[in-house]
Chain A
């Protein structure tokens, strides 16, 4: 069974909400990304989304853009991230989702990417600028088995599209909890509970909620409405500030543990 499905099965049995952390692979470099993933696992993170860097991340806010820049400047590339996952699998079985844009995947070879990433030990992929409509209409974009295809649903997505996306969902659905790019915000969007309920009326696939969650209070509030909570930019920002520092794991734990605890206490 795929590690993502297994993870949600365990969470369901334990009646717990999941915690998903997003980080940019290769920021500040891939050796450090290894330490970060292992520390996240120790903090109780259930799934890690690894950003595969792209030069033009148009759905990301400034924090994630700068992280992708740092990663690319450090020499990160698609083949290197795939090799990195293969190495990482010797040390951890935490579910890994590759979070990226189409062009790096397309250039690597769409089918080859699926085959190599799955063989290395990746569990899922989320391509921000590949809506299911296009995936269905381009013969070179046929999504092969091996990787779970995580789909996005936005607050602007009409119910007819929710139905279409839910019908082909795998692993989990990523509900973007606000209109906007990635990045922390001070207050949570309204209407999340109603949207999640609407999505769940169309599918049994778990629903994760993300975009803009940065405090234990926000994470706890969302945990009551969803199957998993995603925190990204807030963690990436911390890595950006302390990436090179030897006490990064300590600082990371001090920030992430309270977020995880808030989610798990629900």
Chain B
């Protein structure tokens, strides 16, 4: 047996991360996925593509984002020094636009003028609608009916940006069903349409491509912490739904043995079937929506219901690269409950004047548990993947028991 390839060399040419990943799609999509893979490989090596991406990331999206030392929160928790990577300050309010922009540039290279996307919390939908407006592309966003209600603000934003938002009512009407509908649209319109998948999920090349477009988060963080502290952090923390913001932060640090990493899944109302979205708590190996990975299903292989207060984490499968990092022991996957995330949402607002997205609040909830157990000369770097404006209505319902009227 030869030694397994280093984690940073994955995926292989067929999109496998160890036993995970791959291209488990209907035949209708195979040609488009192979075309996309080939075009992405060409774009990656094309200095003009990279230059245009970098220019737009700087001028339009607002990169680099600051690395911010959360002094009051650090003092309050009384342990490790806490730095926040401020992806919430990006145009549209979350990390999602790093990938949406990259894929829109690819769609232009492919000559595809019609863009579709799924969205859960609405941040990927807003990012996609934004770049489509910027490049004059037709944009259709699939969104579960339940998510449209809990993220009404983002639905309105997408409509102002010129996107058509299609409500998906099947199943539990959240992110998974939105992905199914987007895939059905793509199967039907594949010759004219590019699917901007929003997480490190689905068939190859999406998990690799989405990761690569978000690696900038980790690359900047690494440089910034070296400038500020002259050393690497002890711990990285990020929330994991499909896993795009977390893989973006983690990937450039994978070879740094001294850096521990924690991915925080949605524990919902606690680990009971159907009431959470923590795939490493009671999940199993399976295949869903194009990829082989760890997922929540029953003994018959039917996908289970999920729950999370955060629409962006409310999904039954984890990105395949995370499944492999889990098996390799490189990243620990833990969870935070709805209640813990809502508390962290309030804490960061209160102590730092920053309202975080409920997704990011799951990462912060883990920090509140672990920081006090660490020494004051240790460093935690947490990805603040999005801002919480979109969650204010939903959080007030949970915290104050009040419905906001607009």
Residues in A lying within 8 Å of B, measured CB to CB: 54-59, 61, 65, 72, 77-79, 101-108, 128-131, 133-134, 137-138, 151-158, 161, 165, 176, 179-181
Contacts and interface: CB of A to CB of B under 8 A. Distances in A.
B16 A137 contact: yes
Contacts of A176: 27-28
B27 A153 contact: yes
Residue of B19, B24, B171, B183 with most partner-chain A CB within 10 A: B24
Nearest to B170: A65
B26 A154 contact: yes
A164 B68 CA distance: 54
Given A129-B290, A133-B14, A107 B28 contact: no
Given A58-B180, A106-B301, A107-B286, A128 B189 contact: no
A131 B23 contact: yes
A179 B300 contact: no
B171 A156 contact: no
B28 A137 contact: no
Residue of A105, A106, A165 with most partner-chain B CB within 10 A: A106
A103 B27 contact: no
Given A56-B289, A103-B288, A78 B25 contact: no
Contact of A58 (B31, B32, B184): B184
Interface residues of B, number: 40
A137 B14 contact: yes
Given A56-B289, A156-B32, A130 B303 contact: no
Contacts of A104: 300-302
A154 B27 contact: yes
A164 B208 CA distance: 26
A152 B26 contact: yes
Given A129-B25, A179-B189, A102 B14 contact: no
B301 A156 contact: no
Nearest to A107: B301
Given A55-B302, A103-B288, A154-B27, A179 B187 contact: yes
8 contacts: A59-B184, A78-B301, A131-B25, A134-B22, A138-B19, A161-B30, A179-B190, A180-B188
A207 B26 CA distance: 18
B334 interface: no
Nearest to B203: A129
B279 to A, nearest CB: 14
Interface of B: 14, 16, 19, 22-32, 170-171, 176, 179-180, 183-184, 187-191, 284-290, 292, 297, 299-303
A103 B284 CA distance: 11
A151 B32 CA distance: 18
A179 B189 CA distance: 7
B301 A105 contact: yes
A129 B26 CA distance: 5
Given A133-B23, A134-B23, A54 B301 contact: yes
Contacts of B284: 107
B207 to A, nearest CB: 15
Residue of B22, B32, B284, B285 with most partner-chain A CB within 10 A: B22
Given A56-B303, A58-B184, A154 B28 contact: yes
Contacts of A59: 26, 28, 184, 187
Contact of B300 (A61, A77, A158, A181): A77
Given A59-B187, A108-B301, A131 B30 contact: yes
Contacts of A105: 301
Nearest to B182: A58
Nearest to A104: B301
Given A58-B183, A107-B284, A78 B300 contact: yes
A137 B187 contact: no
Nearest to B305: A55
A185 to B, nearest CB: 11
B34 to A, nearest CB: 8
B184 A61 contact: yes
A59 B24 CA distance: 12
The 9 closest A-B pairs by CB, nearest first: A107-B301, A104-B301, A180-B188, A154-B28, A152-B27, A59-B26, A55-B302, A77-B300, A102-B287
